[in-house]
Structures are given as structure tokens and as C-alpha cells.
Amino acid sequence: MISLALTNQCKRVTGNSARNYAALLLLNALLMACNPDAMPTHTSLPLSPYTFSATVTLTPTSTPMPPSTQTPTTTATSIPTRTSVPTRTASFTCTGTPIENDRVVTCPGAPEISLKNDDWAIVSLDPSIPNNVRSQPNRSGEVIGQIQPGENVLVLDGPRCTDGYTWWFIHSVTGIEGWTAEGDATGYWLIPIQPLSAEWVSSQNVITLTSEQVRSAVDIEIAIKRVTAEDTRPGTVILDGRNGAFVFSGDDRSINLFVSNLTLRGMNQALIEKCDDGLFFDNFPLKNILIEDIEFICRAHGVVAGGAFDNVILRNNTFRTKISGIDLGGASSKWFITDNLIETDGIGIDITMARQVEITNNQIFVDTGIVLHNCSQFLVSDKIIHASHQGILLNQGSWNNQVHTNEILGVSNSGIGLESGVKDNFILKNRITCAQGANCLTIDATPKVLEMNTIVENRP
């Protein structure tokens, strides 16, 4: 047994051999490194304690090597360790004081960094253009998607300084993940969303419900309140259909939406049955809402929204209803209605006074497919409409809309109708097929209206 007393001064050590003497010198040197009095510090930088493990190797047949030195990295979560090839080891734990490197505050050519990991941010509305999301943190990285103005994203990694930009790896509310730039010399494209409390970041923001937990729409609305902390943070409610359909049997049979920054997502073939309206947007100025992968079987409407709602995505849902699929009014903008299946006895999509709406890649089985009243800057494209009466109708002053490459099948009246006052629309490359035995029109419009719009390459 060899005993070793450590003080702040060197002491003579006795032992049975030079080999043990050298090993003990090594152990003494390592333990001295763990003494805070022996560690160099930089008083101008913040200090924080950490714990690390070191391994001492006692090899009887060789001369011990001096301990290796590692340069601290900029990664805040790395733990400094000293290791050597294990033969016969002695372990100990000690507390030291690391030196934290300065955090990067500016990338060359870019504005001062305003974000950090685990922040929520919103895509700037000024300028109102989307951010490209790339596979790598540089301008040569492949563009894999876009995040729209007003859309919320979660910052997961970064920053990286490349090409005069600060790059962050983000996850958007629409599911896009990749690298995007924080801004340029003229301003910020990603703006931090400041939490309302210190617990905001760490709070639970996902709730999953199964069918046995839901008796009526109230149960889903309670989950929405909890997950968003009463509309103070983004949140996600997942309807998991693994135990069967969500069958409404209580009094409230329409899901009211009353918060912003909400994702309502289905999984495992989530199905809501016996609803009145599938989704009813309350008359608040809501924004940043994503509804996806849910099937609704309702006796009235699939979606009703009568106010001003911005940046709403309806994606990959099924609406089987009696009155209409989607009924949107008010002064909404930036809706993205894509990859949905709509089956209804009335109008598939009926929209009034909205702007900047994309309706793409949907399948619609209806009496009348899509009706736009006083709407502008719409893109209606690449969809299949099975309509017994009329495919698409533009009326009441709708202008500057694009309707192209749609397939409209089985109509008895007309494929596309344009009423008086409709102007500056582009009706391009649509294909219309009449119902069996019907003498339908490809385009139904007066000569004056035809002159006021661009109508090209539509065919029966």
C-alpha cells in the first residue's frame, strides 16, 4: 500500500521502485490539475463548474507518458476528458472550472446574430417573400423547400457563417427541415418570437389524443388550449387513429379554432365522424395554422372560416360533407389548400374576398367545384374536378387570378365560367369533359368578358 499526501507544495514521495515513483508523479500531476488553484482562468469571461472523468494508466513495463492537452472547442456541451490505453486503471472525479469561448455574435457581411438554438422565429413579412431552405448552409446547397412570410420555425442548429450570411438549421410548422439564412445587410428575414415566460421553451407543446379520450369536439379544444398555453406559444395536437375513429357523441360537434401557431395533425388514418362542421375558425385574427392528414365525415361543412386568417395550410385531408367542403370568407390571405380530397353535395371550395391563395393538387367530387367571389392573386391549378354542374366559377369582380392545367370532368353546364366584372385573369391549358349526353361549354363568358381576360389553350 502506498499513501500519497497532496498539498499546494511538492513533497518527497517514498516507494518501492522507480517505476512506482514515476506512476505516482503522474497521478499527482493529474490531481493537481483538478485543483482550482492550479487552473489558469480568464476573469473577463463567464465561468461555470463542470465535472469530468480522467483515467490514469499504471503500466509496470513502460515509462508513463505525460498527460495530453486538449484545446477547448466552441461546442458548449462537450466534456473535456483525458484518456490513455486501458490496462490497469484508477478512476476519480473532480470538479474544475472550464473556460468558455466567446459565442459568435456576427458573421462577416451579415447583421448581428439575434437567434440561438431552441428559439422560435417567424419569417419576416417585410419583405413579404419566402425564405429558401437548403440542404447545406451555403448558397450552393440544394433548395429543398421554402418557408413563407409569417410562418413559424424552430431553430435546431447553428449558426454557420458562409457566403456573407448567418445560417440556421430549422424545422418549420409545415414540416420542412434544412438550412436558411437569418438575413442580409438590409435587414432580418428570421425574427425571434420572444417567450412570455421563462418556462416557455421547456414547456410541453405536443399532445396526442386517441379515440377513447375524445367524446366531443370539446375534448380536442381543451387539448388545443393546453398545448398552446392559452395562445401564448406554438403547439401541436395529434389525433392518433390507432384505436379507431373519433366519433362525436357529445353536444359540441364542431372543432373551434381560436389560437394562432397551431398544428392539428392526424396519424394512423385519423377519422372524425358525426361532426357538424369539421373545423370552425372563430372570429379572431388568427395566423399560422396547419391542418393535415385528417378525414372528416360531417353533415354540414368541412371548414368554415368567416374572418381574417393568414397563413393557413390545409394539406392531405379528406372532407366528406353535405353542404360544402371549404367555405372561406372575410379578408383572409396566404392560404395553401393542397393534396386534399373533397366530396360534397354542394360546392367544393367557396371563397369570398380573399387574396394570395393557392389551391393545388386536390381531387374534388361535387355539384360545383370551385367558386371565387371578389378574389385576387389566386393560383388554381393541377387538380381533378368531378362536377355534375360546373367546374370553376369566377364572379363578383375577381381579378388577377391564374387558373391553369386543371382537369374538369363530367360537367353538364360548363367547365369554367366568368361572370360580368371579372378581368385580368389567366385561364390557361385546362381540359374539360362534358357529362354523357350533355352539350357543355368549355368556357362560359360574354365576348366583353373574354376580351378582358387571357384565355388560352383550353380544350374540351
- Give residue-wise pLDDT tens across range 249-281: 989 999 999 999 999 999 999 999 999 999 999
Question: Are residues 74 and 40 part of one domain?
Answer: yes
- How many whole angstroms separate alpha carbon 8 and alpha carbon 408? 89
Q: For the residues 326-332, what does the mean pLDDT come to? A: 93
Asked if residue 413 is part of any domain, the answer here is: no
Q: What are phi and psi of 230, to 5 degrees?
A: 60, 45
Query: Of 167, 192, 217, which residue is a domain's last?
Result: 192
Domain that holds residue 178: 120-192
- How many whole angstroms separate alpha carbon 65 and alpha carbon 58? 10
235's grid cell: 403547439
pLDDT greater at residue 50 or residue 15: 15
Q: Tens digits of per-residue pLDDT, 376-424?
A: 999 999 999 999 999 999 998 999 999 999 999 999 999 999 999 999 9
Question: Are residues 69 and 22 part of one domain?
Answer: yes
CA distances from 35 to 65, 66, 235, 288 (A): 21, 18, 47, 53
Task: Give the three-state DSSP class for 28.
Answer: helix
Q: Tens digits of per-residue pLDDT, 80-131?
A: 333 333 333 333 333 333 333 345 688 999 999 999 988 888 888 777 789 9
Residue whose entry in the numeric block shows the C-alpha cell 455574435 = 105
Query: Of 96, 112, 138, which residue is a domain's last?
Result: 96
Task: Give the three-state DSSP class for 23.
Answer: helix
Of 255, 323, 321, 324, the closest CA to residue 291 belongs to 255
CATH of the domain at 131: 2.30.30.40
Question: Are residues 146 and 90 part of one domain?
Answer: no
Residues contacting residue 98 through CB under 8 Å, at least 6 positions apart: 47, 48, 50, 72, 80
- pLDDT bracket for residue 201 (50, 70, 90): very low
- Most confident range (mean pLDDT) of 122-131, 169-178, 442-451 is 442-451
Question: Are residues 81 and 139 part of one domain?
Answer: no
Of 201, 288, 300, 286, the closest CA to residue 254 belongs to 300
Asked if residue 158 is part of any domain, the answer here is: yes
- How many whole angstroms separate alpha carbon 422 and alpha carbon 445? 10
Question: Are residues 23 and 88 part of one domain?
Answer: yes
Question: Are residues 136 and 83 part of one domain?
Answer: no
Asked if residue 24 is part of any domain, the answer here is: yes
- Residue 173: predicted pLDDT: 67
Burial class (CB in 10 A: 0-12, 13-18, 19+), 62: exposed
Asked if residue 427 is part of any domain, the answer here is: no
Asked if residue 374 is part of any domain, the answer here is: no
CB 235: neighbour CB atoms within 10 A? 23
Q: Into how many domains does the chain fold?
A: 2
Dihedral over Cα of 141, 143, 148, 153: its sign: negative
In this prediction the pTM is 0.60
Asked if residue 7 is part of any domain, the answer here is: no
Query: Of 81, 96, 111, which residue is a domain's last?
Result: 96
CA atoms within 13 A on the CB side of 89: 12
139's grid cell: 448558397
Residue whose entry in the numeric block shows the C-alpha cell 432580418 = 188
Asked if residue 51 is part of any domain, the answer here is: yes
Residues contacting residue 194 through CB under 8 Å, at least 6 positions apart: none
Asked if residue 281 is part of any domain, the answer here is: no
